[in-house]
Chain A
Amino acid sequence: MTTPPEIMMHLSEAAVSVELETAEMTLNIGPQHPSTHGVLRLVAKVDGERVSEVEPVIGYMHRGYEKLTEVRTYPQITALVNRIDWVSGFANEIPFMVAAERLMGIEAPPRAQYIRLILTEMARISSHLIFASSYPLEIGAATPLMHALRERERILDLLESVTGGRFHPNFNRIGGVKPAAGAGASTKKVSQDLPAGFLDETRVAMERVVSVCDDLDGLVSGNEIFQARTKGVGVIPVEIAKSYGVSGPNMRASGVPFDVRKVDDYLPYDQFDFDVAVGENGDCWDRYQVRLEEIRQAARIISQAIDSMPSGELQAKVPRIIKVPKGQVYVRAENPKGEMGYFVVSEGGRIPYRVKIRTASFSNLTILQWILKGILIPDIIAILGSLDFVLGDVDR
């Protein structure tokens, strides 16, 4: 029996005029959930569609790197640290190498520093392209993934041609960089440096990276659904960013033009002309736009570095056995995810006494309880994606 139309109308009027009663319930998201980018678990208390409280649970990937550094020599730790944030493994190695070099009082030769800088910026492009592909996917746009990952593959191929590894280069040495992949005794003279044609191919790749950013702008940025999901969502005020130690693109999207590359001298960034991308409102939309702009600026830095590439040694003179003099040093770097730093306490041996690893994703996630309070359930996905974290970088 069907309901007569007049009663149907009364029913629908009743539905809109009476506030539906909802009860608080607990919603468990993760640890195995595609939107959490790994093993992050969120225990959310929800009232209807509204999230009243979130308790993030981390530690599913805790590998105890800070303990492991206390039983490994400095050269061995290189292999360890590039597994912290595996999306930009190369960039993780730099601050640790520079920290050890500062304590030892040595400096990598200019050519090694330029190679480090080029590969670091490539790691940044690769990391941001992952973001530019996965973030629209989470919001519901599948096409940008193909465009962004295609270019990322080229970047990884170039990284692999130099370092031998796509994700875990293990390429830095204290005092410089390793001879490039494929170097052997017979080919020592020609292949100890960058592979032939690497700089030219990189130049072409940078042009393509800039053009894929324009493609992404055309595919995603103008999309009304994407804008509706991201604009005004997950706003991080500057004061909150400071209080929680939110760094990197997430902090710059809130309108702070601060970049470690501009103030510290861990790599020769002062020799290049580049802009710091900043947002205005600190919402998900700005965080997306800032990262796109950082890809373009990274391509700009790499092109300049290729033009002014110095020649010379790849390794400073270092002792046969690396012993780091007693001392404490903190060296930080502007990694794709934000500020990454190592506080190295050396007691003069071959093994550090203590290494505190400051990772960007961990500090960026401390904001979760604050930022997820009072929002709608679908916005959890939009905000988590826009924070661009890697669980290896959170759990260490």
Chain B
Amino acid sequence: MTDSPSETPQAAEAEAPSEPTGGDVTELAAAVAAAVGGTVAQTEFGTAKVAVDRDNWAAAIASARDEAGLDFFNWLSAVDWTKDTTLGEGVAEPDTVEERFEVLCMLSTLTDGRKVTFSVDLPKDDASLGSLSSIFGGAEWHERETAEMFGIDFVGHPNLAKLYLPSEFEGHPLLKSFPLLSREVKPWPGKVDVENMPSTENPEAPSAEAAESDEGETG
């Protein structure tokens, strides 16, 4: 038995966050945007988002780590912005949406609650972006996932092989144009919930909008 009390971990009270999340998101986004040379894209819902130029992507992430202190690599992924949606619901204003990929990368800290999402827009016909794998080791797998799911090329990535999918898989499943094959074969039984409430089929009864506005509790 070589158990000694000094080797058991100490339970330490975490330091109180120097700045609470939520209220200071606007300040945080502005400070980080200035540090990385980007623009503030969103501060609502406690979620700070900073838009960065494509050419400046890797440099901005590096300076966010070194200068803004956001040194914890949280995640990286993308959004396929399109008006052609075969599945689910499309964008709110299809006429104004710009066809593009939006690559998102979140960095945070391990000292306080600060977290910032960085975003960069890529044209669909030239979807390539500098890899972050030399800045954050964790970016390697996240970029592999984003590459296979959206067809985005990460320049400078050491091994952009498929991560989840079989190597012979064709297509990029998270594209809005990619069909969900199980739904093609057979409509999903749960679809009934997606459609209007039965009351809306009867013009005498209150419409779905009216049902919404009456603030009734869910049954």
Q: Please, which residue of chain B has its CB at the minimum distance from the CB of A258? A: B110
Query: Is A257 within 8 A of B14, CB to CB?
Result: yes
Name which residue of chain A comes closest to B42, CB basis: A328
B-side contacts of A395, CB under 8 Å: 164
Interface size class of B (residues with CB under 8 A): 35 or more
Chain A interface SS verdict (over half): mixed
**B residues apposed to A, CB below 8 Å:** 1-3, 7-17, 20-22, 42, 44-47, 49, 71-75, 77, 79-80, 87-92, 104, 106, 110-113, 115, 117, 136-138, 140-142, 149, 162-166, 173-174, 176, 178, 180, 183, 188, 190, 193-194, 197, 208, 211-219
Residues of chain B lying within 8 A (CB to CB) of residue A260: 113
A278 touches B10 (CB 8 A): yes
User: Could you list some 23 contacts between A and B, CB below 8 A?
Assistant: A58-B164, A62-B164, A67-B174, A67-B180, A68-B180, A71-B188, A173-B218, A231-B7, A245-B72, A245-B74, A276-B11, A278-B9, A278-B12, A285-B7, A289-B9, A318-B215, A319-B211, A319-B213, A320-B216, A329-B46, A339-B74, A350-B89, A363-B73
CB distance from A299 to the nearest CB of B (A): 13
User: At the interface with chain B, which of A108-116, A135-143, A164-172, A341-349?
Assistant: A341-349
Cβ contact of A328, chosen from B22, B45, B90, B162, cutoff 8 A:
B45
Residues of A within 8 A of B3 (CB): 221-222, 227
Cβ-closest chain A residue relative to B15: A257
Does A242 make an interface contact (CB < 8 A)? yes
Among A64, A76, A246, A328, which residue has its beta carbon within 8 angstroms of that of B47? Answer: A328
A320 CA / B180 CA spacing, docked (Å): 28
A-B pairs, 10 with minimum CB distance: A263-B113, A59-B164, A349-B89, A244-B138, A275-B11, A329-B45, A245-B138, A279-B9, A62-B164, A258-B110
Chain A residues within 8 Å of B46, by CB:
102, 329
Instruction: Tell me the bound Cα distance from A370 to B17 in angstroms.
Output: 31
Contact between B218 and A315, CB atoms less than 8 A apart? yes
Q: Does A243 contact B (CB under 8 A)?
A: yes
Partner of B110, one of A222, A242, A265, A366: A242
